[in-house]
């Protein structure tokens, strides 16, 4: 493991990443093979995280972000256990109108992949264990001073780290963001999301289903089974009003599966849950700025959205791809990595994309989470119209795959260096 320059009890690096979750660890992995010296601090022991039991949570990773993970040598560790999303079927409750995305309409690549939480965690840990990134965990930044040319972090353990730039990747309730005085705009949806994993009787054929019900979206997302060809599991993301969601969580296994079966129907055959269930309140929030002097915010520290369309982690990974490219290019030009000029390029690059996605997920949830007859008719006709217009449908598909806009090199499948 490579170490930064030391001065007494202080370690000097170029970038300090605060938060070692999926977004922070991916950024550390992206920078690991560059000339940029990196230290990462997280409150959780990585060994405890990878030894955790199967937790039932999964993520939909867009095609462009699989290119990112491949470019930083994480995807080869994930690919054997990732389930491709070949088709997406979007429907409005019991309506006969629907929108069907077939991946062959845009080429041979899947639209994305379903990746399970514990597999991604282990892949990141394996990648960082072989890298030059210094990881301080379990530990905590007790004080972060952002000076004229450096940031200095005092850790709970007594260690001191000095860097040109600090990156706040410490989640929705980011202490780094709060202490930097960055304001947050937020509002709750009065909804909660239930997440669990099913084992089912019939094959899903790698088709993802997004059903818009009056209470909120209900997603059935394909996972691999015990064998790579035994596609008999699915991840469920189920939205209900907060009190109803809690009542569902309180049901026993038989009753809970019965409620799920009512919403899924019979196309998957008999179902049974595997692993624990999770519930979390839903809301939208975004930082008023993604940067402050000597500080960049990424992932949920910068923006958190409704899980509709599964874009939360994808937006965080897009932040990573953009920030990594900005930093590598700045280093090549001999620029100060924490300077206002460098941070402005990152902020400008990500601001529009994040704003559009936050507005889209918020709008979709408000449009579909009701049972008002005229609104229901209008949205059903909209789904049917898009389904009958292949050029327009391909535009929406490419957005879902994350392959539109000004993409960083890693999202295009190119080398970061």
The pLDDT tens digits of the residues spanning 315-354 come to 999 999 999 999 999 999 999 999 999 999 999 999 999 8
pLDDT at 73: 95
Is residue 357 scored above 70 in pLDDT?
A: yes
pTM of this structure: 0.93
Identify which of 34-48, 91-105, 361-375, 377-391 has the greatest average pLDDT: 34-48
Residue 396 pLDDT grade (very low, low, confident, very high; cuts 50, 70, 90): confident
Across the chain, what does the average pLDDT equal? 91
**DSSP for residue 294:** T
The alpha carbon of residue 239 and the mean position of all alpha carbons in its chain are separated, in whole angstroms, by: 18
Residue 6 pLDDT grade (very low, low, confident, very high; cuts 50, 70, 90): low
Give the list of residues 6+ apart from residue 39 with CB closer than 8 angstroms, or none.
4, 11, 13, 15, 16, 17, 133, 134, 135, 136, 161, 163
Task: State the virtual CA torsion across 91, 93, 94, 99 in degrees, nearest 10.
Answer: -10
CATH no. for 5-186+284-412: 3.50.50.60
- Segment among 48-57, 123-132, 201-210, 271-280 with least mean pLDDT: 48-57
pLDDT at 54: 53
Residue 368 pLDDT grade (very low, low, confident, very high; cuts 50, 70, 90): confident
The residue extents of the domains of the chain are 5-186+284-412
Average pLDDT value for residue range 83-111: 90
pLDDT at 2: 42
pLDDT at 302: 97
Inter-residue contact 55 to 346 (CB < 8 Å): no
Task: Copy the structure tokens of residue 324.
Answer: 């990594």
Beta bridge partner(s), residue 278: 195
Residue given tokens 């849950």 in the structure block:
273
């Amino acid at each position: 493991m490579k170490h930064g320059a030391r001065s007494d009890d202080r370690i000097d690096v170029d970038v300090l990443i605060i938060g070692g979750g999926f977004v922070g660890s991916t950024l550390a992995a992206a920078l690991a093979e560059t000339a940029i010296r990196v230290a990462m601090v997280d409150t959780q022991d990585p060994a405890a995280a990878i030894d955790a039991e199967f937790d039932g949570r999964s993520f939909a990773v867009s095609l462009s972000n699989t290119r990112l993970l491949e470019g930083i040598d994480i995807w080869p560790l994930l690919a054997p256990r990732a389930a491709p999303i070949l088709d997406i079927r979007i429907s409005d409750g019991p309506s006969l109108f629907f929108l069907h995305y077939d991946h062959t309409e845009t080429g041979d690549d899947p639209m994305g992949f379903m990746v399970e939480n514990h597999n991604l965690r282990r892949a990141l840990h394996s990648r960082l264990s072989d890298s030059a990134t210094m990881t301080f965990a379990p530990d905590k930044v007790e004080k972060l001073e952002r000076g004229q040319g450096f940031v200095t972090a005092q850790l709970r353990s007594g260690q001191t780290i000095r860097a040109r730039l600090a990156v706040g990747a410490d989640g929705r309730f980011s202490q780094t963001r709060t202490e930097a005085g960055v304001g947050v705009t937020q509002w709750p949806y009065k909804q909660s999301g239930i997440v669990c994993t099913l084992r089912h009787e019939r094959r899903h054929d790698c088709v993802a289903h997004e059903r818009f019900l009056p209470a909120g979206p209900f997603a059935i997302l394909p996972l691999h089974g015990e064998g790579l060809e035994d596609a008999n599991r699915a991840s469920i993301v189920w939205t209900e009003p907060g009190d109803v969601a809690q009542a569902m969580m309180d049901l026993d296994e038989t009753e809970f599966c019965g409620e799920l079966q009512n919403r899924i129907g019979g196309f998957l055959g008999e179902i049974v849950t595997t692993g624990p269930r999770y519930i979390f309140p839903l809301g939208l929030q975004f930082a008023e700025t993604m940067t402050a002097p000597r500080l960049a915010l990424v992932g949920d520290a910068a923006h958190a959205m409704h899980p509709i369309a599964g874009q939360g982690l994808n937006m965080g990974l897009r932040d990573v791809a953009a920030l990594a490219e900005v930093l590598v290019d700045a280093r090549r030009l001999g620029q100060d990595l924490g300077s206002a000029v460098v941070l402005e390029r990152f902020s400008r690059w990500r601001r529009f994309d994040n704003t559009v996605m936050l507005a889209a997920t918020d709008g979709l949830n408000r449009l579909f989470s009701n049972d008002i007859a005229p609104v229901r008719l209008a949205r059903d006709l909209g789904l049917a119209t898009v389904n009958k217009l292949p050029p327009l449908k391909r535009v929406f598909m490419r957005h879902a795959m994350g392959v539109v806009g000004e993409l960083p090199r890693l999202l295009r499948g190119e080398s970061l260096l």
